[in-house]
Amino acid sequence: MTSLARGASALCAVFAAFGALPAAAGSRDAVVAVSGLDATPPAPVASAHRDTGHDWPKYCGNLEMTGVAPNERDISPATAPGLRQAWRFVVGSAIGSSPTVVARRVYIGDWSGTEWAFDAATGAVLATAHLGTTYVSYCNPDHLGITSAAAASGGVLYLAGGDDAFYALDARDLSILWRTSLGDNSQLGGYYGWCSPAVAAGRVFQGVSSNCDVPFVIGRLDALDPASGAVLTSTELSPADQFNQGAGIWTSPAVDLAAGKIFATTGSAYHYEDGLSFSLVRFSIDGLGVEDHWKLSPEDYALATDADWGSSPTLFSDSAGTPLVGAGQKNGYYYAFRRADLAAGPLWKTAIAVPGPCPQCAQGTLSTAAFDGTRLYVGGGATAGFAAMGSVRALDPGTGAVIWSAPLGGPVIAPISYANGVVFAAGGKSAYALDAGTGTILWHADFGSALFGGIAISHGRIFFGDTTGHLYAYEVPPPSD
């Protein structure tokens, strides 16, 4: 990942093509007013006995990164065609992060460095916090705020800020509980916090990578103390040598809590041979020791320039219950492995998109897959001989065979989400709801700019942001309507 269209910069390059709109006032059905923000007291956090089964508490919904809202019943193939806008809000800067929804609050960050808390029902602003920005003149874009999606646990939000630090925020009012610097985000330092964290086994796990690979930083997985922010354990993935660095974790880790394992995909480096670059890696959850990995073969590496892993791992299983893990590549393939033996190589790989370093040009796949217990849903860019600029495919998890393909109007870069027989995807400037059984488009809505942060699902509503700084809430109408 080195330039405008490579690696983590591929994601930020997408946003660079779109301007940010200023915040605007309006009705609840159109745009919620910004005025009076300071006068809005933070709502109390619900009791410990509240219903947590409808929360979307982290990136891709859960530790396994399956993208599933397991208790959603209001949304279904029958009701999804009636999705309608409940509210929208203009934050005033590009949104590159995925929403987190907990206790009927929506949390999201933008590229001004502001983390927001909204009432999920009305769109009213409950709190804000400024978590810094990073400026590097030779990166594109040169100014970044928050891309990391918050992980909520025990009334606390954990996320990477727009600066050099990782933060813990009080979920009630977004006050900063602690901050820990994870790198040097200056022009010479190279660090930026792309990754979204996982909270498990009494620790917060966060990957470390570079901004736009100039310079590369040493790829790393950190385990932080959730109470203090102290880094308890850290594992580096490339040599501590200025000429041999990289292997950053700019995607987000998946956690197999029962087995005590963490899976992460790594990015590029100065050289193919450098450390665990271009790899899928398994760590022990205790101690973060590297137990197993698979690096792209030279043949697969040659399929695309800058062939680092663009998607986060998804944990799933085949019909026999075999624990598997899969991820998408910028070389256009989706790969699946036995979790217990990554070094043996992929069980299967399926072509999803044409290879290339430019996801916004419909090359490769950066989209993290969803798994509903039966099928794997994978998004990506254009396919050779396929007129559409993007698609979602349903795959057999045991073989990788394509069950159905749904052509979409733009490349799918955001993760796929799933609820009660409905697959949600963002393709280009449009959001889609697809029938999980057939791939039929049940609903779609078009917007003025690209969607890259993922679609969160909670209580019959979906939430997502766009690159002109709009946060949207769509709902299925109640039965009385």
Task: Provide block-wise average pLDDT over 10 residues at a time, the chain (481 residues).
Answer: 38 37 34 32 40 89 98 97 98 95 98 98 98 94 95 98 98 98 96 97 98 94 98 96 92 98 96 96 98 97 90 98 97 97 98 87 90 98 82 97 95 97 97 98 95 95 97 90 61
Taking the C-alpha atoms of residue 192 and residue 56, their distance in angstroms, rounded to an integer, is: 25
104 close to 121: Cβ distance less than 8 angstroms: yes
Please give the structure tokens belonging to residue 111: 């590229």
At residue 140, the pLDDT reads 84
Residue 179 structure tokens = 């901050």
Supply the pLDDT for residue 21.
34
Q: Residue 471: helix, strand or coil by DSSP?
A: strand
Do β-strands 254-256 and 231-236 pair in parallel, antiparallel, or remain unpaired? unpaired
Sign of CA dihedral 437, 313, 446, 408: negative
Q: Where are the beta strands (DSSP E) in 42-92?
A: 84-90
Q: Are 435 and 447 in contact (CB under 8 A)?
A: no
| Spatial separation of the C-alpha atoms in residues 454 and 304, rounded to whole Å | 25
Apex CA 254: angle with CA 334 and CA 16, to 5°? 70
Quick one: how far is CA 206 from the chain centroid?
13
The tokens for 39 are: 């006068």
pLDDT given for residue 16 in this prediction: 33
Q: 441, 432 in Cβ contact below 8 A?
A: yes
What sign results for the dihedral spanned by CA atoms 218, 221, 224, 226? positive
- Look-up: residue for tokens 């983590």? 8
**Domain range annotation of the chain:** 7-475
What CA–CA distance (Å, rounded) separates 328 from 303? Answer: 14
Q: Please tell me the distance from the alpha carbon of residue 376 to that of residue 150, in angstroms, as a whole number.
A: 25
CA dist., res. 313 & res. 252, Å (int)? 8
Q: In this predicted structure, what is the pLDDT of residue 481?
A: 61
Centre a 10 Å sphere on the Cβ of residue 36 and count the other Cβ atoms it contains: 10
Domain 7-475: which CATH number of 2.60.40.60, 3.30.420.40, 2.140.10.10, 3.20.20.140: 2.140.10.10
| Alpha carbon distance 361, 390 (integer Å) | 10
Strand ordering across the sheet containing 254-256: 254-256, 261-265, 279-284, 290-295
Other Cβ atoms within 10 Å of 340 Cβ, number? 15
Sign of the dihedral through C-alpha 225, 229, 230, 234: positive
User: Which residues, including other chains, have CB under 8 Å from residue 227's CB and lie 6 or more apart?
Assistant: none
Residues 6+ apart with CB under 8 A from 249: 195, 207, 208, 209, 219, 220, 221, 237, 264, 265, 266, 267
